[in-house]
Amino acid sequence: MRSWNVAAIMVMAIAIGLLVCGCQSGTSGESPAAEAFKIDMQNTLKEITAILIEPVSQADQQAVNAVVDAFCVSLVTQTPPLVCGVAVLDKNGMTLVGRYPEEPLKTLNFSNYSVVKQALRERKIVQGRLFLQDGTRLYTVVAPLSSEGEMHGLFGLAFTAAELTERWGITEDEFMDLDLNR
């Protein structure tokens, strides 16, 4: 096992701990629940994107899979498990790796979704809604995988409304009003 794989697994454990335990409250005017969600997302995204930039930029599919697999294992082994979709997209919005919650996703083209377009264009964390063909709403957080000014791809998490409400206690409006870049 490569040394960065071990580091990736350790960082995943730390990131998931932050996702589960993020209970800090700030003075941003957001509710304590929204602030906790924001801190959880920022910490998790900072850790996971740092790990994924290199393998995504090198088109190392095996390494990207290993990182996502370790991340997903850490999600489902929590008590209670965190049920969310996880995706890594290339710089064109095509799926490199995806899991929801444990099952692989087909290679899909997300390039026409506004949240993906915005993240690629602005190179910042964005959140939004996606609607599945059955009408299910997913709430997504998408972060750029870029280094030295070059966009390599995106990392995304997708949550159901129930997961947002039950785990973090935030509403759709609170989710949509967050600025995850501050």
Contacts of 67 (CB under 8 A, 6+ apart): 5, 8, 12, 48, 51, 52, 55
Contact 156, 97 (CB under 8 A): no
d(CA 61, CA 93): 15
Residue 50 in this model has a pLDDT that exceeds 90: yes
CA dist 44 → 37, 63, 134, 141 (Å) = 10, 19, 29, 11
Nearest Cα to Cα of residue 99 among 83, 112, 77, 115 = 83
The secondary structure of 141-176 as a DSSP string is EEEEEEETTEEEEEEEEEE-HHHIIIII---HHHHH
Global pTM?
0.79
What was the pLDDT predicted at 63? 96
Q: Which domains does the chain have, with CATH numbers?
A: 3-177 (3.30.450.20)
Q: Is 89 helix (H, G, I), strand (E, B) or coil?
A: strand
pLDDT of residue 87: 92
pLDDT in tens, 104-157: 556 667 777 888 888 989 999 999 998 877 788 889 999 999 998 899 999 999
Give the E-state strand segments of 26-125 in sequence order.
85-90, 95-99
First to last CA, the chain: 36
Model pLDDT for residues 69-110, shown as the tens digit of each residue: 998 888 888 777 778 889 999 999 998 998 876 555 566 677
Indicate the SS3 state at residue 107. Answer: coil
